[in-house]
Amino acid sequence: MSEMIAINIDGRDVSVPKGTTIFDAARMNGIAIPTLCHQQNQTPVGVCRVCVVDVGARVYAASCIRECEPGMKVKTDTPAVVKARTTLVEMLMSDHPTPCARQENSGDCELETMAKAAGVAAPRFARRLSPRGRDDSSLSIAVDHEACILCDRCIRGCDEVKKNNVIGRSGRGYTAHIGFDLDLPMGSSTCVSCGECMVSCPTGALTNKRVVDAALDGEKLDPEWILQLPVFKGVSGTFLELNRSSVVKREIAPGEVICREGEFGSTAFYILEGTVEVYITSPIAHVQQQDTPGGWFSRIRSTLSPRRTHTRAEESGRKYIPIDGPVDLPYDKPLAELTAGDLFGEMTCMSFNPRSATVRAKTRVVVLEMLRNVLDILQKNKTFRADLDRKYRQRALETHIRSVPEFAAMPAEFIAYLRDRVELIRYSPGEVIVRQGDAADAFYLVRMGFVKVSERHPGGDIVLTYLGRGSYFGEMGLLGGGIRTATCTALDHVDVVKIAAEDFGLMLSRFPSIREGLERVARERKEMNRRRVAQTEHVPIGEFLNQGLMEAQSLLLLDLEKCTRCDQCVKACADAHDGVTRLVREGLRFDKYLVATSCRSCRDPLCMVGCPVGSIRRRNSMEIIIEDWCVGCGLCVRNCPYGNLNLHPFATEVADPANPSRMIAGTKKKATGCDLCMEQAEPSCVYACPHAAAHRVEPLTFFGGMLGIEKRSPQGSTAETSK
Amino acid sequence: MLIDRTHKPWATASAAILLIAVAAYVPYVAGSAPVGGGTLPGLVYGTIGFAFMAFVTLLALRKKFPIWRIGRTTTWMRGHLWLGALSFPLILLHAAFFWGHGLTSVMMWLFAIVYVSGFFGAWLQHAIPRRLMRDVPMETIYDEIGHVREQLLDEADGIVAAACGKLEVQISVPDAAVSSGASALATVMRTGSGDADDGAPLRDFYLKEMRPFVQAPSVSHPLASAMTAAAMFGKLRPLVPAALEQAIVDLENICEEERQLLRQRRMHGVLHAWLIVHVPLSFAMMLLAVVHIVMALRY
């Protein structure tokens, strides 16, 4: 039994074990001492000083850290102590936004409650001059540094209670604030969103981000039940309690569709039991008119118009279609199965992208459907993450690597060699993955999300392209001088497979065909980048900028002095694309030219961002093409700032709404856009214009003289778009 | 097609062919031998002239298959213009400037009409596109004019309803919604936040003057003239509160767009109407030319 000591608190003689703090001694004897920085489950640190008491010494003591001494006489509520405490609260309140988020939401900000009780109305002290700002980078926790009183409760919660060691102090004096890892934004840090900091925080500095309209169909779950699931091991029960409407359990009968391709959604699914089928219902085909003539006339037409329909040269190497799930779908038969333990719909949930595939229950299926705040926590949960990564390495890495045409022939044994050597890394939106000028130390395959590739130039960055799932980057630096030639930034939540430079080098030395393929792609990318940069080194003006013509790489212009409005261009376009025109003879005018509504092959192709199946992409020869596996979600159409992409209906079979297992005749939509008739020497619209009024041009070169800028057309190209 | 400097090679070649043909014709006609279509020189002129005519006619077929890679349509069009221009003089040389009788005479008259209409069309294609560009800055796709007008009418109704509080108008009902014997028009009440009394003059003006014009634009309507329209809106302005000025400006803009659409429709008609004469008569002439060749060779 420990030694007992006798002390006097507010005139009462009490006996407490040796080593007890004054704060605990008072509490054990029913005397409440106010505090902000101290919690019973944390080591006391005495930083707020609100718990000061008079122990008869020269200065007041912080009761939470001062141990009792034999014969000590403690006074907790003398007018002088109360006055000192009030002054401290007043000083803390002077920097505290009133009301803070917590006070506004639930009215239980401890500081504001204490200030109100102490009669602190308007602080006499001036606010800090340098605001500390907010951090909204985390999906589940909002950080308001302004409301933080630096009590360190969150730090101790993270370090001592949850042992995550993410939060710490950063800065000094007025710049002091809580920081995550090496002072990163919370969303980019190793924070696992356990919620302990939020629970510990006495003010509105760390608050739960509530999800609007979180009502999901399905069985609402008790947090206790959820915590029993292995995938939720380590997740904060408090957090689940706060977000209990953000995850539901659903039982799905065989044949029932869980989600459909092209639909917008905001949830992800984790399979607890059963098997689901993942497939694309949109036929892999060009969009064409239903009434395309099929007689001898059309046969003559086909013979004389040498357009190879339904296939493109580079498509022959494609074996998989990327989707928002742990597997890719085989190109020739886009169907796969997912079973218990698989997660799908991540991109839809995290980035609100359209669904990339249709998912139907093959057997009786039990799934957890969750919103992004719960998914975010799961993804940051080390156990869950490790499990997902293990499954990815076992099941999906091989098909993912083979989905890159250049790697399609890679032997299975080398993929097995890579399996445990590659790193699986996640990046938050805006995070730089590789930076131009840095040493090239790895090769990256995009596993999920979109990566922006940009090059630094005087006057700003030039966006070279966007890369989605199935694309890769980093080869130019490794194949070249070992220096990164561009900056790659995560546009949304991006997962990459990182192959270290030494493994990449080993691969190249062992497989010369892969080296040749990568070198060819690197050359093409280099040439494309050079052309794009050469085009952008002009500074045009006025209306040219206003109409976004500066952004265009290729414009379809109609000379209005020559055009007789005969619509031969439109007819030719329709004839060249199975009856579906890709241009509308309307748009803004620039000088005597009509800028027709037709794809401009923009330098910054916003249309490519977010495509759930990666079917819209830019070829190295700069045109934007929409591949045949488009699922018709319409995101690219909405993203195009110039209205140059369209959704076009075509006849196919669709599920009967009354009986989903039965297929009936119906229509679906696919996006269409000008592909510059890339299989021809000249776009059909230009070729067919009888009046020499239609031109496909590089705008800066074509209008160079008019704009008073020196014509510096890229080597080998002319004003008319060359291919 | 605009005939500009890029036509220089075609113009030079055509002039050379014509010169050679005329130069050859002079000794031929000055000689003692009979002249006419049946002679060897006459047959040569006729054959070349007919070949040109045939090529010129094939343009129509070429345009039916715009993506056939058999030469740029622009090249075909240039051939159409210059070889077409040469064909008639060659046929005249073939016939030794004899108009002929019966079938031949009909054919020659047709040829003359086609020839003149072709020149007229070429002139129109020079003049009208420039005027369209200058006079119709709000030009839309010709086939969409009706749709744009419907939108303008709806927009105008909305503006007036918003400015005047309420507006009772008749709108056309889609065919599918009209049962047998029922009216294709429905009366609807559109409402807005404006004051009904303040906006009464505007509503009256709109219902009596402007809406009929927007609904069925015609060149005879007073609002079809920009000057008259400005005067009519000028008279209206003092009658309504200043708060409705923006509504009046918007309505003026709608009238202007309607006028431009009227102008576009008219100019588009002129630009393409000559083809109604040119194309059928060309085919008729070619048919008669084939008959003429068969008869001349057979008999």
Region A517-527: mean pLDDT is 83
Yes or no, beta carbons of A562 and B1 under 8 Å apart: yes
Residue B142 included in any domain: no
Region A22-41: mean pLDDT is 88
Yes or no, beta carbons of A585 and B141 under 8 Å apart: yes
Same domain, B123 and B154: no
CB-CB neighbours of A116 under 10 Å: 14
List per-residue pLDDT tens for chain B, 299 residues long.
Answer: 788 888 999 999 999 999 999 999 999 988 888 888 889 999 999 999 999 999 999 998 899 888 888 899 999 999 999 999 999 999 999 999 998 888 899 999 999 999 999 999 999 999 999 999 999 999 999 999 999 999 999 999 999 988 887 777 777 765 555 455 555 666 677 776 667 677 889 999 999 999 999 999 999 999 999 999 999 999 999 998 888 899 999 999 999 999 999 999 999 999 999 999 999 999 999 999 999 999 988 87
Same domain, B222 and B253: yes
Distance from CA of A303 to the nearest CA of B (A): 9
Same domain, B127 and B153: no
Residue B191 included in any domain: yes
Residue B167 included in any domain: yes
Q: Are A608 and A616 in contact (CB under 8 A)?
A: yes
Contacts of B65 in chain A (CB under 8 A): 301, 304-305, 575
Same domain, B60 and B183: no
What is the share, in percent, of chain A residues with pLDDT greater than 90?
A: 16
Region A213-219: mean pLDDT is 68
Same domain, B133 and B278: yes
Same domain, B14 and B129: yes
Query: Chain B within 8 Å of A293 (Cβ-Cβ)?
Result: no
Residue of A682, A691, A720 best to disrupt the B interface, most CBs of B under 10 A: A691
Residue of B3, B8, B59, B67 best to disrupt the A interface, most CBs of A under 10 A: B67
Residue of A nearest to B265 (CA): A565
Query: Chain A within 8 Å of B125 (Cβ-Cβ)?
Result: yes
Output the pLDDT for position A239: 75
Q: Which of B118, B144, B114, B160 is nearest to B252 (CA)?
A: B160
Residue B143 included in any domain: no
Same domain, B155 and B117: no
Output the pLDDT for position A469: 80
**What is the 3-class SS of chain B, one letter each residue?**
CCCCHHHHHHHHHHHHHHHHHHHHHHHHHHCCCCCCCCCHHHHHHHHHHHHHHHHHHHHHHHHHCCCCCCCCHHHHHHHHHHHHHHHHHHHHHHCCCCCCCHHHHHHHHHHHHHHHHHHHHHHHHHHHHHHHHHHCCCCCCHHHHHHHHHHHHHHHHHHHHHHHCEEEEEEECCHHHCCCCCCCEEEEEEECCCCCCCCHHHHHHHHHHHHHHHHCCCCCCHHHCHHHHHHHHHHHHHHCCHHHHHHHHHHHHHHHHHHHHHHHHHHHHHHHHHHHHHHHHHHHHHHHHHHHHHHHHHC
This prediction has a pTM of 0.62
Same domain, B188 and B127: no
Q: Give me the residue from B66, B130, B133 closest to A684, CB to CB.
A: B66
Same domain, B161 and B60: no
Q: Are A410 and A401 in contact (CB under 8 A)?
A: yes
pLDDT band at A127 (very low <50, low <70, confident <90, very high): confident
Query: Chain B within 8 Å of A308 (Cβ-Cβ)?
Result: no
Report DSSP letters for A314-380, one per residue. GGGG--EE--SSSSPEESSS-EEEE-TT-EE-HHHHHH-PBP-SEEEESS-EEEEEE-HHHHHHHHH
Tell me the pLDDT tens digit for each residue of A462-504.
777 888 887 889 988 888 778 888 899 988 888 899 999 999 9
Region A545-556: mean pLDDT is 77
Question: What are φ and ψ of residue B127, in 5° steps?
Answer: -85, -45
Q: Which domain holds residue B193?
A: 148-268
Output the pLDDT for position A404: 81
Output the pLDDT for position A294: 53
- How many domains are there within chain B? 2
pLDDT band at A539 (very low <50, low <70, confident <90, very high): very low
Yes or no, beta carbons of B2 and A585 under 8 Å apart: no
Same domain, B156 and B194: yes
Residue B286 included in any domain: yes
Pairs of CB atoms within 8 A across A/B: 85
Same domain, B211 and B171: yes
Tell me the pLDDT tens digit for each residue of A388-415.
888 888 877 888 888 788 888 888 888 8
Chain A 49-68, CB below 8 Å of chain B: which residues? none
Same domain, B175 and B287: no
Output the pLDDT for position A718: 42
Output the pLDDT for position A623: 75
Using CA atoms, how far residue A473 sits from A59, A486, A496, A613, B193, in Å, is: 63, 10, 10, 19, 58
